[in-house]
Structure 1
Amino acid sequence: MSASRRVIRHLAFAGAVAALCAPVAATITITAETTVPAVMLEKGRVTGHAAEKVHEIMRRAGLPYTIALMPWKRAITLAHTNPNTCVFMTTRSLERETWFHWIGPISQADWVLYGRADRQYNIRSLDDARGLRIGAYNGDVRGEFLREHGLNVEFVQNDDSNPRKLMLDRIDLWVNSTRSSRAVLARVGLTGKIVPVHTYRMVKLYLACNAATPDADVARMHAALRSMEADGSYKAIEQRFEYLQTAPLVNP
């Protein structure tokens, strides 16, 4: 065999070995909680206006991933403590800022205090809610915000418990958002019996990835989102789910 052929074979073998040894991108686990119409399970697939944006971000970024639905406290804790883990839809706060890389916003939400429809309330600011018992659920930044501002907040494991507690006078108010409260109230059969009393904040929501996520992966996700905004697909996803954001939800 000639020297040139030996060199070619050696280079080909070295290239094959390098390809086999090249690092394979780790699968990113993305956690979330069910929040209709942003995140929901349909026919075994996680969908919704926020979930579809995440699917498209990851597809354009070329990153392998899975989405797992779970209670919110567990979802955000896993993303905070585990490498190659992200969570959505997440609100930025001073405490959380250094926990994650922030990709977004992918949605927005209002923070609303709810009360019973058969009661009169005079709440024009959070100061007017001082001394009242406010229901929230574990890990929810809305309730944590209220507690940090000196309000009396009672946390529960499952947010479905809060409307029931409100109707039983075990709490005085319940904190949620316009979008997610509609689904909760329909699920527990209390649509129309609990109404918004005071909106105290508007926030942007993000896909938040563990701080150890490689910068290159984060950059690809940012670029994917920017391209979605530029070509109109971000808005198109929102429009696909508009009917769920405005249509009345019926009690199951």
Structure 2
Amino acid sequence: MPTDYSSVSSRVIKYLRNGVVALSLSAIAIPALASERLYIFTENYPPYNTSETGKGYAHSEEDISGICADMVKAMLSRVNYDYVMKMRAWSYAYNWVQDRENHGLFCTARTDEREDQFQWVGPLASIKWTLFAAPDSDLTLDSLADAKNLNIAGYKGDVMSEYLVDQGFNVVMGVSSDVNARRLTLGQADLWVTDGLVGPLMAEEEHDITGLKPVLVFRETPMYLAFSTNTDPRIVADLQKALDEARAAGDIDRIVASYE
């Protein structure tokens, strides 16, 4: 049977052309979506970041609340970036985020040592570097130097713990902070270095320990949403603008007030 080769050829060319156009569009669209997705990590550090599941990790923003978490959500609600939010152990998240494009971590203390390791969005809230003693302790300190020969409970990746290690203090490191109140009551540590709000709350929630004694507050540091250095600076600028707008609108003050 005779075949109309010209008709077949035209149809083939049409299909090929449409296919090329479709492939071209998907090639353009996929990288655009990928480049705009943000990966935001945090740790279980109530009241700043809190797991709603009762576990030390979470896979979605619906399971994450807290002062800093709510601030970050308020910021992200003002931009059009797609994002995912996860909760992991701090040392894991801290190492994972660095050098990965569009990866951020909160609440991260902004210090001189960390300044060039990240791009910063904030400030969000501030932490008070506090040394706590057990409820029945009679320990007193006039200055940080007085703790030089004492055993201090801390945890890996924590800015306060690492500062003390760098200064030559005896810090008993763990992978997380939730066991440190128990270390105090068991006599495994003389002091626990943590934030002034976090320490008593974590001690009561995790171990039903109340009455921790704040022996010394030796520093205060602002906390930020920290992005990897190879994240597009325009994204960081967009988020900083969104946070500034949320603060100007009173959203940030309302979040803080809701936790008081």
2:197 corresponds in structure 1 to 179
Residue from 191, 214, 217 that aligns with 2:235: 217
Question: What is the SS of the residue equivalent to 2:74?
Answer: helix
1:77 corresponds in structure 2 to 95
1:39 corresponds in structure 2 to 49
**Residues 160-183 of structure 1: CA deviation (Å, up to 9, x unaligned):** 222222222221111111221122
Map 1:59-138; keep pairs closer than 5 Å. Answer: 59-138=77-156
Question: What is the SS of the residue equivalent to 1:122?
Answer: coil
Name the CA distance, whole Å, in 2 between partners of 1:64 and 1:228.
18
Question: What is the SS of the residue equivalent to 1:30?
Answer: strand
**Residues 43-63 of structure 1: CA deviation (Å, up to 9, x unaligned):** 743122211111121221221
Name the CA distance, whole Å, in 1 between partners of 2:74 and 2:201.
25
More off after superposition, 173-182 vs 132-141 = 173-182
Q: Aligned-pair distance for 1:18?
A: 7.6
Name the CA distance, whole Å, in 2 between partners of 1:18 and 1:98.
38
Name the CA distance, whole Å, in 1 between partners of 2:153 and 2:45.
18
Name the CA distance, whole Å, in 2 between partners of 1:240 and 1:89.
18
Question: What is the SS of the residue equivalent to 1:238?
Answer: helix
1:54 corresponds to which letter in structure 2?
Answer: V
2:65 corresponds to which letter in structure 1?
Answer: T
Residue 135 of structure 2 contacts residue 210 of structure 2 at CA under 8 Å; is this kept in 1? Answer: no
2:208 corresponds to which letter in structure 1?
Answer: G
Map 1:139-218; keep pairs closer than 5 Å. Answer: 139-186=157-204, 187-192=206-211, 194-218=212-236
**Residues 133-172 of structure 1: CA deviation (Å, up to 9, x unaligned):** 1110111110111111221111012322222222222211
Question: What is the SS of the residue equivalent to 1:78?
Answer: helix
1:232 equivalent to 2:250? Answer yes
Distance change >3 Å, CA 35–CA 207, structure 1 → 2: same
Distance change >3 Å, CA 17–CA 56, structure 1 → 2: farther
1:4 corresponds in structure 2 to none
Map 1:16-55; keep pairs closer than 5 Å. Answer: 20=26, 21-22=28-29, 23-24=32-33, 25-42=35-52, 44-55=62-73
More off after superposition, 42-51 vs 205-214 = 42-51
Name the CA distance, whole Å, in 2 between partners of 1:240 and 1:204.
20
Name the CA distance, whole Å, in 1 between partners of 2:22 and 2:78.
28
**Residues 28-54 of structure 1: CA deviation (Å, up to 9, x unaligned):** 111101122221233743122211111
Q: Aligned-pair distance for 1:16?
A: 8.8
Distance change >3 Å, CA 241–CA 16, structure 1 → 2: farther
Distance change >3 Å, CA 160–CA 47, structure 1 → 2: closer
1:30 corresponds to which letter in structure 2?
Answer: I
Residue 122 of structure 2 contacts residue 240 of structure 2 at CA under 8 Å; is this kept in 1? Answer: yes
Q: Which runs of 5+ in 1 are unaligned?
A: 1-12, 243-252
Name the CA distance, whole Å, in 2 between partners of 1:86 and 1:239.
25
TM-score with structure 1 length normalisation? 0.84
1:151 corresponds to which letter in structure 2?
Answer: F
TM-score with structure 2 length normalisation? 0.82
